Structure 1
Amino acid sequence: MPQATTDGSSGLTTITDELHRALAPGRIVEVRDEEWLITSVFPTVNGMKIRARGVSDFVRDTPATFYTELDRINPLDADSVTLKADGSPNYRHSRLWLESILRKTPVPLYETTLAVSNEMLTDPLDYQLSAVKKALQTDSLRPRLLIADAVGLGKTIEIGMILSELVRRGRGDRILIVTPRHVLEQMQQEMWTRFALPFVRLDSVGIQRVRQKLPATRNPFTYYNRAIISIDTLKMPKYRAQLEKVGWDAVVLDEAHNVTNAATKNNDLARLLAPNTEALILASATPHNGKPKSFAELLRLLDPTSVGPTGEISPDAVDRLVIRRHRNSPEVAAVVGDKWAKRSAPNNILIDPSPQELAVARELKETWTGANPPCGTDHLFPWTLIKAFLSSPAALAQSIGQRLTKNPTGAEKQALDRLRSLSDELDAGTSNKFRALLDYLEKIGVNNRSSMRVVIFSERVATLTWLEKELTRALKLKPGQIAQMDGSLDDERQQQLVEEFKKESSPLRILVTGDVASEGVNLHLQCHQLIHYDIPWSLIRIQQRNGRIDRYNQRISPVITTLLLDTPENASPGDLHVLTKLMDREYNANEALGDVASLMGEHSEKREENVIRDVLARRREFDDAVQTPDEVLTGCDDWFQEFLCPTTTEADTTADVSGAGSERAATLYASELDFLEDSLLEAFDNSPGNSLARGGVGWRVHGNGVIELTPPDDLRRRLEYLPQDYVKARGVLEQIQLVTKKLLGEQQLEQARNGLSDTTWPQAHYLSPLHPVSEWAADRALASMDRQEIPVVRGDVTGPTVLCMGTVTNNRGQVITRSFIEVGPLLDEVLTDLAARLTQLGLGPNAVNPGPVEFDADQLTATVSAAVQRADGNLQQARLSAEQTSARIIERWKRRARRWSEEAEQSVTSAERRRQKARIDKEESLALQLRPDQSFVRPLLVIVPEEN
């Protein structure tokens, strides 16, 4: 048996090649006189870091991390086994043992067949599954992907599916999600309710909890393995030093377009995280601002060789690293069906101005938009006044007041005073635009007694405040029926408003909000009416706003309404009809392209606004500045579109290497309920009921498919790491409710989000394969077995047969391939479907066990030892295949690295070359660790002829 030896002079463990090869996930090791199951292995400077979970009684269920430099680690021999006859009903003991080992052994690294993501609480839509498969492709050294799907397609779902697959592959123990602060709770809820992935939410309240719980010197990012935090919080200097000291299995950067500017703290944070994580997922519906340099920065975060030394972007890199679809992409349109109601045509309401509005408009035209405005060379200020006027009387008064604080003199002071005098005549009573808003709200049934909801957008905070006040008065709204959401609110209040708007039972009917809610927020669950009280001068921003209700799972056709003053030509401070055209053009582009950025080719909200300002000022024609969708499709000269066109690359021919095994053998149970029931019966030897039996665990299965479970102490310890709001709201530490059918799970989620209770967390949580309760059940099943036990059962075989599992791992301890090998009296067979083979042998779920089998222990132990050697010979072919696959991946990367280095010698400064080379050197070190390093065969089951 390989053992770690101790250097008496230093006290450190010397790790031998034999020991290194023996440390693999799924292996039982002895450390500190206790037994542990290895879950993952990582290389360190002087040895290996091992994550494990306790198996023996004293440490059972306890997670631990060991270092070969510090601990004496003794792997237990695979063929030094204790054979034990299985006398359990239906061979429950053996089936649980096999299932638990399967669940504890990571799915192979290069397995592209989805293992768990399509079993989560989601619709397994093909276009979402293709994003997951792209993230798992074998062309990259590690999972790297930019999800650039258009607004509303469900990027959060795709992120959750990818993370769940990484977790199942042993690559998702430590995960960091970085999002805008107003979607922290939304993201946390989606990850937990749909994917059973618990994250600690480090918003302002969460951070306060951390400070109360941890010593000031403790790094919170080493304490919490899975955290979700806002980018605004994370980029603070005090967290940088802590981040530099930790590594991650996966990092998600949501709304990744916010990190493209190399001169910002956001970008600095992204550059810090990117090389220190195994997997990196970037998500953005607007992944570029029209500048190749900015888009290149995103690609460089994913792969430093994807962008040439001088910034040129490789189409091959885009094909490998980017996925982008929109509402009308064939693969999307074919599956969304009635779960995404088609948006109604634009509802543009043109409003005749009141005398007071007309007077202000005429003053703006005659005084401020002429050749010599009173503000001198500040040519942008007149348009600031016009935008404010088109927003609300409050916004105009604010803009005038702010200008007056700068103490203007002469003509400007006189003009401002005159404009202020006219604007003072404007209020809710004299504004036809506000009257039109009230008329429309009455038309669609929004009042203090109805259930109709509406979200009203404006760019100006002053307008939001004014609307909240005036709508409350005019509609006689009760407290809680209208709310204002803007960037001045703290993250907790923003999240609270978003969640309230989703709940059917909430009194909130009108949400007045601005750009803070235009990214990432789901407002469609109870709402299909959106009103632009003022119109952004940017197609990108318009589309982002509309996407809050025009998205997947919107069952009622979204209605987008805009309100616009229709001033006569002689009193219009610009060609205001342009704004109506802008709304129509956005609708047409959304229908034909699913994207609006290409219409103007600016890819930046600020630059689009500059263009529209020129059109309003009649310095440019609208149709020259804003293309039609047909013109875009015909011309296709947008550089970003060109990169997203289908391209044949090396990645297209990458083989799907899964070793000899197949994920069809990933489970022996038809449902999670069957597995949980068997685990509880095995571990606690009690039947379902209200009371504990023989020291067991209280549990009940209701006729409606809901399971009630009273968690014992060891399960409660695991549940403490679930989202705290969920733990508190549903009292899961005292009793947890679970459902095992997707339909019931969706109903529970819908009931919670419809507000049938005071929380949006579901009462009964969907029991997926990654749920902590299932993981706990698997551990308890393993813990119920004797040391090094291998069950012996009867089956339809001609002689003693040994079922083995062989794994090949790389230098990072990751499982590259996994095989199930049946070693019989005459021949060996690599199984492609373990569950089907067990059924053939008479060991399926309906098997009848006549009682424990009798056998010669010494003789059968020798048979097992010989079978392990034979299985190891079979495994070598799988190892050779894995070596070839690894070599292809590494060689492709090396070619790209060499090409980059050769170009860099001639084109960039030595400082820039050194900076990028440091990243490439780190990638090369990673590449070397991907090579297959060790193989391990583990006997799982001994089958003897039925006549025994």
Structure 2
Amino acid sequence: MLTDIAPGARILCRDAEWLVKSVALSSDGDRIIEAVGVSEFLRGRRIRFLEELEKKDRKRGLQVLKPEETHLVIDETSGYVRSLLFVEANLKQTIPEDGRIYWGHKAAMDALNYQLIPATKALQMPRQRLLIADAVGLGKTLECGILVTELIGRGKGRRILVVTTKSMMGQFQKEFWLRFTIPLVRLDSEEIQRVRSRLPGNHNPFHYYDRTIISIDTLKQDREYRSYLEQAHWDIIIIDEAHNVARRGKGQSASQRAKLAERLATRSDTLILLSATPHDGKPESFASLMNMLDPTAIANESNYTKNDIHDLYLRRFKKDVLRDLNQSIPERNVEPVEAIASPPEEAVFRKLHDLQLVSIDRGKSAGQLFKTTLLKAFLSSPAAGLETVQNRLKTLQKKLDISTELDQAELTDLAAGLAAIDQGSFSKYQRLIQLIKTEFQWTGKDPKDRLVIFTGRLETLRFLEAELPQDLRLKPEAIARLDGGMADIDQVEIVEKFGYENSPVRILIATEVASEGLNLHYLSHKLIHFDIPWSLMTLQQRNGRIDRYGQTRKPEIRYLLTRSQVERMDEVERIIKVLLTKDEQAIKNIGDPSVFMGVFDPEKEENLTAAAIESGVSAADFAEELDRNAKGEGDVDIFSWFESESGDTDEGVSMDSSQGEPLVETGSLLSLFPSIFQFTATALRFINSQTSPVHNLQINEDEGFIELQLPQELKSRYDRLPKEIQPQDNRLLYLSDRPEDMMRAMEQARTEDADWSAVQYLWELHPLVEWISDRCLFYFGRHQAPVIQLSQGLESDEVIFICFGSFPNRRGTSVLNRWVSVIFKQGKFQRVEPFAETQKRTELGLHELPNSGTVNIDDLLPLRSPAIQQARQYLQQERQRFQDQLNPQLEAQRERLERLQGYHVEQLELRWESDNISANLKQDKQQKERHKIDKIFQDYRDWVELSMTTESEPYLKLIFVIQQA
């Protein structure tokens, strides 16, 4: 095995020269070398080599160019610009080896301290496998983007897969591109068909795109595509709204979503799960998510502690990050809005109160009575109540017994009462119109003042969609609806239109499909619950659509209730008001509103509320019961170990004891240019002076933007990026390096009804910068290093050979990088120093350099071999220090795995002791489970050994030479 192959190395293979971009191990242990063409006819072409296969070809083989044979060349360009660009491009190959934040805090966002903490925590882990479980509205997508940015910068993010819900695909894709320039190709139903038509039948479409986003439901429904996905390997997998892929309940039963996620978890080193509601109160359910992250952590899914898993998740609530948020989210204003039931509605309330369903509700458990279902539907709207009654009558008509006839008579009478409630006597709807027109003084004329109206019932949604345009004097296109029955493309389109200022949409009416994850706050700060969910978790999710990071106006939230003179029916609304009070209490003091009910599942919370209503409990008694649950006095397990005793939820992150906040350290890498803008501008000007200029190039340093027409070589790279980011109709590519300008451009795009901002963020991850960096690496020929003459910072007759050295781990990933200066004086070796010190004393890159073009190369040639020898010796010492620091961590991992494996085996034996099956069958099943445990731990040991042990020989490259002028 050629140990000196690492990112940045130049190799000869198949009679051509290539630049190594990454090195990874295949499933059978062979090294996969990804490279980009350097030779003129292959320039920019990407290819993968299998090292073992190439070595077998004796004629062509695979050769690494030796650093001591590097040709020293004269750079005749003015100011040594070619050399400076070449050196800078090589500097950009440097990979940080610590846990500091180098790029994420510079994204196009107002990054707050707490949003950097997940990346800081993850970078301290052997493998970046983490559940980010922050509460609704705190910016989990952005926290994820910061972490992914850091991983890309460390060479760990070439292939990325994001799995999310249908409605979230477009939003997630935009956030990753506009703020982080991470391009995700959206594989919606249309794109899947397009890719299939372009590829041969036996090709895996997930090898066609490196970075994709896809809906979990699309994968669930498409067996063939799901198979392709499971066969692909990724550097990073992100599962958004991860609670949707958790196993529910005890035992081995799992939904298609859960099975798919469990298989995906094995296809990537890095796994990031995102969810504001990560558990349903059952330890087995939460354990399924933890096992995706680390299958060695939990031995008994029904019995484990916080200490087993605290490294695997991060969870904060609004109250925990108020210091950061006070500048970002104004405190919300929440008010209940009451309607007085009309006479026809009172008649229905009386019928519901007196309703006796002999057959339908016989044997039903608490919270499951159809009578309660009818009440809940009616509290949404008479239309929803009538639909519910009519559907049940159709079912009853198929049965021919006396008991059902009595129920049919009751329901028929109720249906007549519901049908008698017209629009004018629908008091809550009339109160809605009054609220919008009078109290909000809303006319729909201001495109930046839009309404979000939630309802849990589809029939209520249809009623509002039909009636609101006329009563609010709006055109039909001013009302948009969003429900779960819509196609993925339609859902994405509706959400995007609601965020465009030029769009005619003024009101979004949505069911619960819009309650998870969506950003609806750009042009809206008013949200109305037309009906109130009987679940605190659903309330939290709904409110989070406008009460979230990035909201600049005070969120105005209103809850509509209908008050009745029928005492028990009115008590129901008072019980529901208790939920509203507890939700506000949680936001201000507790954090997680679900602790009040302790069942951690929206459907179960609704059943609990229904059971309270059916039992005849008072609102006061219901409130007391919820308070007992929150204090841990009830019978429910509220997963209190999510919170540490000190209130610190940021375990694994160093703390500033004086401030009580986690410390986030940022760092910067060596550079010869003051900014990425200066590097890009200098490189483009230099390219423009060559034989193939960049057309329509405009560089404005005062305003910080660059404009150009895509060169053909760069355009070919864009062809496999999302079509949304490619300049359309031969328009110019416009880039800004100022985050504040980018954020303004995002807002401007929404005012112009644009899908994507025409401005793109100019920073390290942008495809243009990556293309320029690759091109600059080719500015000198095969195995060449330029010589630069400096007039300051060097002693007389001093010569410095600057080398880059790196050690990969045994998985082929670079983990130790050093830039070293080997210093000679009068032809004799003096010392080795870090290049950072050399740059500081010579101020290389800070001043213009006169270039006389007169360099005596012959005197330098004899120094190459001793320079490489000294650099290699220095690097070996650095490697030993690094490995000495790593070895205790490696040993700790070995001991941890040994201890955990023993505990897993112990728990396995305990589980089988009480089983009554035959001894032979028990032994057979136990052996299979033992084999599974052994394989899990052996795979993890292999990963740890390969990842935490460096190769003995460095990759070493002579970059350039400095000589006194």
Same fold, judged at TM 0.5 (above):
yes
Secondary structure of the residue that 2:355 maps to in structure 1? Answer: helix
In the TM superposition, residue 223 of structure 1 has moved relative to its aligned partner by 1.1
- Hey, what's the Cα distance between the residues in 2 that align with 1:412 and 1:636? 36
In the TM superposition, residue 123 of structure 1 has moved relative to its aligned partner by 1.9
Pair 1:840–1:91, CA change in 2 (3 A): farther
Q: Is the 8 A contact 2:287 2:301 kept in 1?
A: no
Q: Is the 8 A contact 1:203 1:229 kept in 2?
A: yes
- Hey, what's the Cα distance between the residues in 1 that align with 2:391 and 2:939? 52
Bigger Cα displacement from structure 2, 645-654 vs 415-424: 645-654
Aligned pair 1:919/2:939, yes or no? no
Structure 1 counterpart of 2:340, one-letter code: D
In the TM superposition, residue 581 of structure 1 has moved relative to its aligned partner by 1.7
Q: How do residues 71-470 of structure 1 correspond to structure 2 at under 5 angstroms?
A: 71=54, 72-105=61-94, 107-108=95-96, 110-137=97-124, 139-140=125-126, 142-235=127-220, 236-261=222-247, 262-309=253-300, 311-329=302-320, 332-344=321-333, 346-368=334-356, 375-378=361-364, 380-408=369-397, 409-443=404-438, 444-451=440-447, 452-470=449-467
Q: Is the 8 A contact 1:306 1:313 kept in 2?
A: no
Q: Alignment identity in percent?
A: 34
Secondary structure of the residue that 1:282 maps to in structure 2? Answer: strand
Q: Is the 8 A contact 1:455 1:529 kept in 2?
A: yes
Secondary structure of the residue that 2:627 maps to in structure 1? Answer: coil
Q: How many residues align?
A: 899
Pair 1:653–1:481, CA change in 2 (3 A): closer
In the TM superposition, residue 377 of structure 1 has moved relative to its aligned partner by 3.2
Structure 2 residue aligned with 1:705: 704
Pair 1:93–1:695, CA change in 2 (3 A): closer
Aligned pair 1:36/2:27, yes or no? no
In the TM superposition, residue 854 of structure 1 has moved relative to its aligned partner by 1.7
- Hey, what's the Cα distance between the residues in 1 that align with 2:37 and 2:306? 48
Structure 2 residue aligned with 1:873: 873
- Hey, what's the Cα distance between the residues in 1 that align with 2:570 and 2:635? 34
Bigger Cα displacement from structure 2, 178-187 vs 917-926: 917-926
In the TM superposition, residue 863 of structure 1 has moved relative to its aligned partner by 1.0
Superposition RMSD in Å:
2.5
In the TM superposition, residue 486 of structure 1 has moved relative to its aligned partner by 0.2
Secondary structure of the residue that 1:70 maps to in structure 2? Answer: helix
- Hey, what's the Cα distance between the residues in 2 that align with 1:57 and 1:362? 85
Pair 1:912–1:427, CA change in 2 (3 A): farther
Bigger Cα displacement from structure 2, 716-725 vs 765-774: 716-725
Give per-residue Cα distances to partners, 1:699-734, cap 9 Å, x unaligned.
Answer: 11246433211111111011222321332xx42865
Q: Is the 8 A contact 1:53 1:62 kept in 2?
A: yes
Structure 2 counterpart of 1:56, one-letter code: S
Structure 2 residue aligned with 1:523: 520
- Hey, what's the Cα distance between the residues in 2 that align with 1:573 and 1:549? 30
In the TM superposition, residue 635 of structure 1 has moved relative to its aligned partner by 13
Pair 1:164–1:875, CA change in 2 (3 A): same
In the TM superposition, residue 645 of structure 1 has moved relative to its aligned partner by 4.8
Q: How do residues 497-646 of structure 1 correspond to structure 2 at under 5 angstroms?
A: 497-570=494-567, 572=569, 575-620=572-617, 621-627=621-627, 631=631, 638-642=638-642, 644-645=644-645
In the TM superposition, residue 54 of structure 1 has moved relative to its aligned partner by 1.2
- Hey, what's the Cα distance between the residues in 2 that align with 1:648 and 1:340? 21
Pair 1:829–1:123, CA change in 2 (3 A): farther
In the TM superposition, residue 574 of structure 1 has moved relative to its aligned partner by 5.3
Aligned pair 1:864/2:871, yes or no? no
- Hey, what's the Cα distance between the residues in 1 that align with 2:513 and 2:854? 68
Q: Is the 8 A contact 1:576 1:616 kept in 2?
A: no
Pair 1:282–1:199, CA change in 2 (3 A): same
Structure 2 counterpart of 1:600, one-letter code: M
Give per-residue Cα distances to partners, 1:566-619, cap 9 Å, x unaligned.
Answer: 112446175321111211210111111232111221111122112211222245
Structure 2 counterpart of 1:789, one-letter code: Q
- Hey, what's the Cα distance between the residues in 2 that align with 1:382 and 1:694? 77
Structure 2 residue aligned with 1:882: 882
Secondary structure of the residue that 1:707 maps to in structure 2? Answer: strand
Q: Structure 1, unaligned stretches of length 5 or more?
A: 1-16, 655-661, 687-692
Structure 2 counterpart of 1:128, one-letter code: Q
Structure 1 residue aligned with 2:917: none
Secondary structure of the residue that 1:783 maps to in structure 2? Answer: coil
Secondary structure of the residue that 1:731 maps to in structure 2? Answer: coil
In the TM superposition, residue 373 of structure 1 has moved relative to its aligned partner by 7.7
Bigger Cα displacement from structure 2, 161-170 vs 512-521: 161-170
Structure 1 counterpart of 2:105, one-letter code: N
Pair 1:113–1:822, CA change in 2 (3 A): same
Structure 2 counterpart of 1:325, one-letter code: R
Pair 1:278–1:885, CA change in 2 (3 A): farther
- Hey, what's the Cα distance between the residues in 2 that align with 1:499 and 1:514? 17
- Hey, what's the Cα distance between the residues in 2 that align with 1:170 and 1:325? 29
Q: Is the 8 A contact 1:682 1:781 kept in 2?
A: no
Structure 2 counterpart of 1:927, one-letter code: V
Q: How do residues 629-668 of structure 1 correspond to structure 2 at under 5 angstroms?
A: 631=631, 638-642=638-642, 644-645=644-645, 664-668=668-672
Give per-residue Cα distances to partners, 1:768-802, cap 9 Å, x unaligned.
Answer: 11100001111121222222121111233231111
Secondary structure of the residue that 2:518 maps to in structure 1? Answer: coil
Pair 1:645–1:53, CA change in 2 (3 A): farther
In the TM superposition, residue 630 of structure 1 has moved relative to its aligned partner by 7.9
Secondary structure of the residue that 2:265 maps to in structure 1? Answer: helix
Pair 1:704–1:392, CA change in 2 (3 A): same
Q: Is the 8 A contact 1:339 1:553 kept in 2?
A: yes
Structure 1 counterpart of 2:349, one-letter code: A
Pair 1:639–1:565, CA change in 2 (3 A): same
In the TM superposition, residue 811 of structure 1 has moved relative to its aligned partner by 1.2
Give per-residue Cα distances to partners, 1:275-312, cap 9 Å, x unaligned.
Answer: 22010000100111111111111111111121124543
Q: Is the 8 A contact 1:91 1:843 kept in 2?
A: no
Q: Is the 8 A contact 1:361 1:571 kept in 2?
A: no
Secondary structure of the residue that 1:328 maps to in structure 2? Answer: helix
- Hey, what's the Cα distance between the residues in 2 that align with 1:843 and 1:455? 57
- Hey, what's the Cα distance between the residues in 2 that align with 1:323 and 1:62? 41
Secondary structure of the residue that 2:327 maps to in structure 1? Answer: helix
Q: Structure 2, unaligned stretches of length 5 or more?
A: 55-60, 248-252, 398-403, 656-665, 913-925
1:932 to 938, 947, 950: 950
Give per-residue Cα distances to partners, 1:622-657, cap 9 Å, x unaligned.
Answer: 123312898479999833445555689995799xxx
Bigger Cα displacement from structure 2, 488-497 vs 879-888: 879-888
- Hey, what's the Cα distance between the residues in 2 that align with 1:362 and 1:472? 32
Bigger Cα displacement from structure 2, 379-388 vs 570-579: 570-579
Pair 1:892–1:824, CA change in 2 (3 A): same
Pair 1:46–1:156, CA change in 2 (3 A): closer
- Hey, what's the Cα distance between the residues in 2 that align with 1:864 and 1:177? 48
Give per-residue Cα distances to partners, 1:8-45, cap 9 Å, x unaligned.
Answer: xxxxxxxxx4x2x1211111001111111111111232
Secondary structure of the residue that 1:572 maps to in structure 2? Answer: helix
- Hey, what's the Cα distance between the residues in 1 that align with 2:4 and 2:584? 61
- Hey, what's the Cα distance between the residues in 2 that align with 1:375 and 1:904? 46
Aligned pair 1:828/2:831, yes or no? yes
Q: Is the 8 A contact 1:706 1:737 kept in 2?
A: yes
